Amino acid sequence: MELNGKVAVVTGGGSGIGAEIVRQLAGAGAAVVIADIDLAAAEAVKSAIIAQGHKAIAVQHDVTSAASAAALVAKAEADLGPIDILVNNAGVSGNSPFLEMTEEEWDRVININLKGHFLTARAVLPGMVARSYGRVINMSSICGKQGFPGIAHYCSSKFAIIGFTQSLAKEFAKSGITVNTICPGIIDTPTNRHAIGRIASDTGVSLDSAWLDLVSNIPQGHPQTCLDVARMALYLASDWAANMTGGSYHVDGGCVMT
């Protein structure tokens, strides 16, 4: 699964799953663009990647902005070359009973999780089409396969990403571009810790108890890791997955089996 000579963009690459995807793609030989709204976090990951002898740049990127997406592509191409791989990873969560959910919170989650995929992919894909090659990897969730109470906005965004992926996969199949989705399960990331904290607060239990309750629902009996998800991203970015497109691949310990 070597990626020597490839250029990869990872949104939300400054922390959590995104940062681990950056490390795995760089380790396989790709030059990586660490795109994140938190530039300091992206810079920290970049420094670690460069210290290991790999190529990387950090770019501040607001996935809800078309202008930011265009600037991201321009910067990536100027510094590293044409983009071969896009990992649409940036996302947010939240926890709110539906009847208490504000329009602003709904829009925040949908804009970052779904519109962000659209705008970044729209900016990157023309170059892939021109070169007849590309790998687009979108990040959904097991919450994109089944709904859960208190996160209607999050589940809606993640279900939509699967439809978005399938549509792009069919539209660009003859252009040498694959488009796939990863559906992570229960992973201990800052985003998930925030959501679990809200659950714990709403239910009156401790954070540890809320976490253990979630983990108890995993058939394999343990949570997944950022590395588990990053390895799937590496596989889908490689030529080993050249004939796989339009799929949604669970990395969830058996939580969702359809």
Report how far residue 190's alpha carbon sits from residue 91's, in angstroms, rounded to the nearest whole number.
Answer: 11
Question: Do 187 and 225 contact (CB within 8 A), yes or no?
Answer: yes
Classify residue 161 by burial, with Cβ atoms within 10 Å: 0-12, 13-18, 19+.
buried
Helix spans in the chain (H): 16-27, 39-51, 66-79, 103-110, 116-131, 152-171, 190-203, 207-215, 226-237
Residue 106 to residues 12, 64, 98, 110: CA-CA distances in angstroms?
20, 14, 10, 6
Q: How many Å is the Cα radius of gyration of the chain?
A: 18
Q: How far apart, in whole angstroms, are the C-alpha atoms of residue 201 and residue 204?
A: 5
What is the distance between the alpha carbons of residues 87 and 70, in angstroms, rounded to a whole number? 16
Instruction: Determine whether 154 is an active site residue.
Output: yes
Task: Provide the phi-psi class of 136: left if phi over 0, else alpha when psi is between -120 and 50, else beta.
Answer: beta
DSSP-assigned letter for residue 110 = H
CB 209 within 8 A of CB 202: no
Instruction: Give the Cα separation of 52 and 30 in Å (integer).
Output: 13
The catalytic residues are 154
